[in-house]
Amino acid sequence: MAAIHPQPAQGYLIGEAARQSGVTAANIRFYEKEQLLSPRGRSENSYRFYSDGDVHQLRFIRLCRALDMSLDEVRTLLGLDLKDKADCATARGALDGHLSHVRARLAELKVLEKDLQALRSRCDGSDTHCHIIEALHERADALPLQPAIKKPAGEGRQAGGRRHV
């Protein structure tokens, strides 16, 4: 683990907290908005100050996001006490749920891989027209019509996608 540089008396400004944690300043603000982090305090001119504990928490969030955990999963883990057996069971349950999601996604990706390989096998590069493009157009025409349903931002596995790492 990279060492955290000594914290100034008032704390780190957001840019330094970003450098110390490997998380962008924009993501730090996002995590605050999502209530995953609360800055240590603010100066008279509203600059945020972060403690060593905040920097550690940002690193923890960053790791969980790199493991593809949702914000709700991260929130659950942040709320647990590592010395409490009941919390350990909760963490294990959260991880089991996430592992189940990852396994389902892997199965979906295997199906996708086979589908892409089947498309790729239609082209050997020697024909005068592209059989891959032809197959894609055929499949596009065969898609069933479905009304476009826009979900509210809060619905689904992760509102706003998984861009905030």
- pLDDT for 41: 78
Q: Is 130 helix (H, G, I), strand (E, B) or coil?
A: coil
30 lies in the same domain as 62: yes
Tell me if 63 is assigned to some domain: yes
**CB-based contacts of 58, cutoff 8 Å, min separation 6:** 17, 20, 21, 22, 23, 28, 31, 37, 50
Q: When comparing pLDDT for 46 and 62, which is higher?
A: 62
Q: Which residue has the tokens 């999601």?
A: 101
Q: Given 62, 78, 94, which residue is the final one in a domain?
A: 78
Instruction: State if pTM tops 0.85.
Output: no
72 lies in the same domain as 94: no
Query: Lowest mean pLDDT: which of 25-29, 47-51, 66-70?
Result: 47-51
71 lies in the same domain as 19: yes
Element (H, E) at 41: strand 41-42
Tell me if 151 is assigned to some domain: no
Q: Given 58, 78, 98, which residue is the final one in a domain?
A: 78
Give the domain range for residue 112: 85-141
pLDDT tops 50 at residue 4:
yes
Tell me if 3 is assigned to some domain: no
pLDDT band at 3 (very low <50, low <70, confident <90, very high): low
19 lies in the same domain as 66: yes
Tell me if 154 is assigned to some domain: no
What is the count of structural domains for the chain?
2
pLDDT tops 50 at residue 67:
yes
- pLDDT for 160: 41
Q: Given 78, 101, 129, which residue is the final one in a domain?
A: 78
Query: Which tens digit of pLDDT belongs to each residue from 100-149?
Result: 999 999 999 999 999 999 999 988 777 788 889 999 999 999 988 887 77
- For residue 153 the two structure tokens come to 């931002």
